[in-house]
Amino acid sequence: MAYSQGFSPHPKVSWVGAAPTGVASEAEYVEVSVVDRVDPEALRTALDAVLPPGLDVLEVVQSAGGTLPERIEASAWRVELPGVSPEELTEAVTALMGSASVEVERLTKDGKKIVDVRPAIVSAEVEAWTGTHSSDAGHDARDLSQPCGILMTVVRQTTPTVRPDDVLSALRVVADLVPPVPAKATRMAQGRLDDEGGLVDPLALDRAAEV
């Protein structure tokens, strides 16, 4: 592994757009600099072997040039809202997307801050109910007898960062939507935005270069 220079060298490892505390993720990316070229699959196996259960390295590719931050500008989130019907959530989302500006209050280490979250929200839709929560296989199974609205939203990685809980706060502002129990947010993808507002796989160029 490559290290930085100076009196206190550090491994050259860089997380890109790390998920905020308290959310799940299926799409985290990290850059690791090495001194000598290594087999990507061997590196994936070695890293995966030392991580705790539940943290899995799915793929390692050799960079074809450029950096990951250049290829990531937005995240796709799935937010489950137990106790909120899809119809109620749809009304709130329509109000949110129809607003030009939605300011929410966020508590930071420097005190309270007002953030306009609307410009960062690229899209927001209510997913059809499938009868199964993504958390069923985890440790916090939901009560399936209750309604559950599922919000699918794409959010730009702006400064300051707009987090899933900020989007939920915006729904409360525009539609007084307050879930009776905590929502569960999961990041499903990261990448650059295409012309339709979807996300381009940030590793696609690297895979193509390996062929």
Q: Among 34, 129, 37, which Cα is nearest to 86's?
A: 129
pLDDT computed for residue 132 by the predictor: 52
Q: Among the residues of 31-163, which ranges form H helices?
A: 40-50, 86-97
182 and 88 both lie in a single domain: yes
Give the Cα separation of 150 and 92 in Å (integer).
12
Q: Do you know the residue count of the chain? A: 211
Residue in this structure with the two tokens 């209510």, named with its chain if needed: 126
Domain containing residue 163: CATH number: 3.30.70
Q: What are the distances in angstroms from CA 52 to CA 29, 47, 200?
A: 17, 10, 29
Is residue 3 situated within a structural domain?
no
Residue 119 three-state SS:
helix
150 and 204 both lie in a single domain: no
Tell me which residue range forms the domain holding 45. 13-68+200-210
Is residue 6 situated within a structural domain?
no
Residue in this structure with the two tokens 């939901």, named with its chain if needed: 142
Conformational region of residue 66, where left means phi above 0, alpha means psi within -120 to 50, and beta covers everything else: left
Read off the pTM.
0.85
Q: Are 68 and 16 in contact (CB under 8 A)?
A: yes
Q: Tens place of pLDDT for every residue, the chain, 211 residues?
A: 787 888 888 888 888 877 888 899 999 999 888 888 889 999 999 999 999 998 899 999 998 888 888 899 999 999 999 999 999 999 999 999 999 999 999 887 788 889 999 999 999 999 866 655 444 444 455 556 678 999 999 999 988 889 999 999 999 999 999 999 999 999 999 999 999 889 999 999 888 887 6
**Which helix (H) or strand (E) is 175 found in, with range?**
helix 164-175
pLDDT computed for residue 125 by the predictor: 96
107 and 205 both lie in a single domain: no
Q: Are 173 and 166 in contact (CB under 8 A)?
A: no
pLDDT computed for residue 144 by the predictor: 61
Give the Cα separation of 58 and 207 in Å (integer).
14
Give the number of other CB atoms < 10 A from CB of residue 29: 18
Give the Cα separation of 28 and 25 in Å (integer).
7
pLDDT computed for residue 136 by the predictor: 43
pLDDT computed for residue 146 by the predictor: 78
pLDDT computed for residue 34 by the predictor: 86
60 and 132 both lie in a single domain: no
180 and 92 both lie in a single domain: yes
